[in-house]
Amino acid sequence: MTLEPLAFWALSALLVGSALAVVLTKNLFHSVLYLALALTGTAGIFLALEAEFLAAVQLLLYAGGVVTIVVFAIVVTERLVGERITQTSRQIVNGVIISGGVLIGVLTFLARAPLPAARPPLPGDVTRAIGQALLSRFVLPFELLAVLFLAALLGATYFARPDD
Amino acid sequence: MPLHAYLTLAATLFAIGLFGVVTRRNTIGILLGIELMLNAVNINLVAFARFNGDPTGMVFTVFTICITVAEVAVGLALVILIFRIRRTVIADHLDLLRG
């Protein structure tokens, strides 16, 4: 457990740095690559929290799936080479005020909240517990998720269909 | 590390994502900011689940990850559709509904 603070601080620095790069870099394609880095760092945070299954899901679905879809969308809507891909930001002052206000609000709330400082010992295999909860107590939302995926698949295909 | 540290990290990531959503002009850039915000929420859920010794929060994380992936697929399909019709993905130029 002595390595955990070290891993936490390293991953925190990586996450904050890559997240800032996502919202600040001019090149949209670089933004997506930094997003992939941030999502991989989040998988590392999940590992530090001893949620190995979620770290694997995070890598597969986010860093693998989402980043691929976004890259395809950029290729379709922008030219990868040339100046079209550059993007500008607007209303930086308003953005700093809004996000800074939200951050300060959450942090003051956190500072006053009584939170546990130490984590309890693991009750057993977390992956097994997640699987059993998904198929017993949360089976209805699990099935609804399948319906949602079907709807999203049909919707995305319908929106992106070729012109007839 | 105490729970405070993880929640502070998640709050920082959430604020950075919100900054991106407010300031980006490209619709895909706005979607990337939303991704960062949802990611911060996932960190919160997993941290709370671990520090309470209850895997329910991790089950919720599975749900939010899946819903986010569906949302990105539909959102990017909409972006491609908008681009096909208007030839732009700059959010300021998409003002058809402005009265």
Side chain identity at A24, as an amino acid letter?
A: L
User: Which residues, numbered 69 to 98 in chain B, qualify as contacts with chain A under a Cβ-Cβ cut-off of 8 Å?
Assistant: 69-74, 76-81, 83-84, 89, 92
C-alpha A66/C-alpha B32 separation (Å) is: 10
Coil/strand/helix, residue B90:
strand
The pLDDT of residue A125: 84
Residues in B closer than 8 angstroms to A35, CB to CB, are 32, 35-36
pLDDT at B64: 92
Please indicate whether, in this complex, the C-beta atoms of A73 and B80 are within 8 angstroms of each other. yes
Residue B83, in any domain of the structure: yes
Q: How far apart are CA B99 and CA B85, in angstroms?
A: 20
User: Nearest chain A Cα to B14, which residue?
Assistant: A103
Question: What residue spans define the domains of chain A?
Answer: 1-98, 122-164
CATH code at position B18: 1.10.287.3510
Structural domain count, chain B = 1
pLDDT score of B8: 93
In a domain, B49, yes or no: yes
- Answer yes or no: is B99 within a domain: no
Q: Assess if residue B7 is contained within a domain.
A: yes
Q: Which residues of B touch A73 (CB under 8 A)?
A: 28, 76, 79-80
pLDDT 10s digits, A18-46: 999 998 888 888 889 999 999 999 999 99
**With an 8 Å Cβ cutoff, are A116 and B3 in contact?**
yes
In a domain, B45, yes or no: yes
Strand (E) or helix (H) holding B2: none
B38 pLDDT higher than 90: yes
Cβ atoms < 10 Å from Cβ of A23: 25
A1-98 in CATH: which number? 1.20.120.1200
Where does residue B65 rank: exposed (0-12), middle (13-18), buried (19+ CB within 10 A)? buried
Interface test with A, best of B46, B84, B85, B86 (most A CBs within 10 A): B46
* pLDDT tens, position by position, A41-57: 999 999 988 888 999 99
Token reading at A98: 């809004």
* Cβ contacts of A49 on chain B, cutoff 8 Å: 6, 46-47, 50
Secondary structure in 3-state letters for chain A: CCHHHHHHHHHHHHHHHHHHHHHHCCEHHHHHHHHHHHHHHHHHHHHHCCCHHHHHHHHHHHHHHHHHHHHHHHHHHCCCCCHHHECCECCHHHHHHHHHHHHHHHHHHHHHCCCCCCCCCCCCCHHHHHHHHHHCCCHHHHHHHHHHHHHHHHHHHHHCCCCC
pLDDT, position A88 = 67
Q: Do A62 and B80 touch (CB under 8 A)?
A: no
Is residue B66 a contact partner of residue A142, using CB atoms and an 8 Å limit?
no
Q: Does residue B98 belong to any structural domain of this protein?
A: no
ipTM for the predicted complex comes to 0.89
> What pLDDT sits at residue A39?
92
Q: Which residue has the higher pLDDT, A89 or A81?
A: A89
Structural domain boundaries, residue B52? 3-93
